[in-house]
Amino acid sequence: MTLSMPRPFASGRLSAAGIHLMISLAVAAVAAALVFGIWYPYPYREISGGRALFLIVMVVDVVLGPLLTLTVFNRAKPAGELRRDLAMIGLLQMAALVYGLWTVAVARPVHLVFELDRFRVVHAIEVVESELGQAPPALQHLPWTGPTLLSIRAFRDAREKLDMTVGALGGVPLGARPALWQDYASAAPQIRAAARPLGELKTRFPAQAGLIDDALRSGRAASTSPATLAYLPMASRDRYWTAVIDLNTTEVTAFVPIDSF
């Protein structure tokens, strides 16, 4: 004899889990707007791994709550016990969401730094916090509204150059050292000197010419004269892209998913 779940019982559980799923998806949509609209705008959702990290968090959170509701929901339970069970599930799910968003936040990109001859994506977790007091006053707090453009100043002397270089070799990028930070515009001459003609990028990567053109059409480069465009390599933790700049303003106008180092 095959035992089956009574239809009203199964229907009640499925309805409760379905409602919980809809609520979870709505919360996930709000979280996605925060993460991808503010903390990880393009291209950082790709180059900083924001998309993969957020998807892991959301899949766990969205699946966790409705499945638990499907498991524990039973109209035959006393009302107080059912409310307690659902409240515990909600608290567990909220804790998972907060922890997940915190994990995404501490790994968020905070600055795109011109670093000698390249751009460096600097993430909050990489910044040497003990040096924040040595940064210019406006840069002593890490931004929460998306990455900002910065540059690093010239070394003060040979000793500082040696110390910072040794630190970089040890895994602390120059761009993550607040003691070296300065505003982006201060490095305009160095940026122009380091930038390479955009035509050279297509020469180096002829098979990727279509990809380059697509990137230029989708960014601010579309309204910029090709003659004034140049490029610089861009490094993140374990990924390498290319940043396109306007030589007149040194503004970053587009990003190309090509390793141009």
The dihedral built from the CA positions of residue 54, 57, 60 and 66, taken in this order, carries a sign that is negative
* 18-66 pLDDT, tens digit each: 888 888 888 888 888 999 999 999 999 899 988 877 887 777 777 778 8
* 165-197 pLDDT, tens digit each: 999 999 899 999 999 999 999 999 999 999 999
Q: What is the pTM of this model?
A: 0.85
More confident site: 221 or 117: 117
Domain boundaries, the chain: 7-106, 110-186, 195-261
Q: Is the pLDDT of residue 8 over 70?
A: no
Please name the residues in contact with 120: beta carbons below 8 A apart, sequence gap of 6 or more. 112, 113, 114, 173, 174, 175, 176, 234, 235, 236
- Predicted confidence at residue 238, as pLDDT, reads 84
Pick from 204, 233, 205, 229: nearest CA to 217:
229
* 220-256 pLDDT, tens digit each: 776 778 889 999 999 998 899 999 999 999 999 999 9
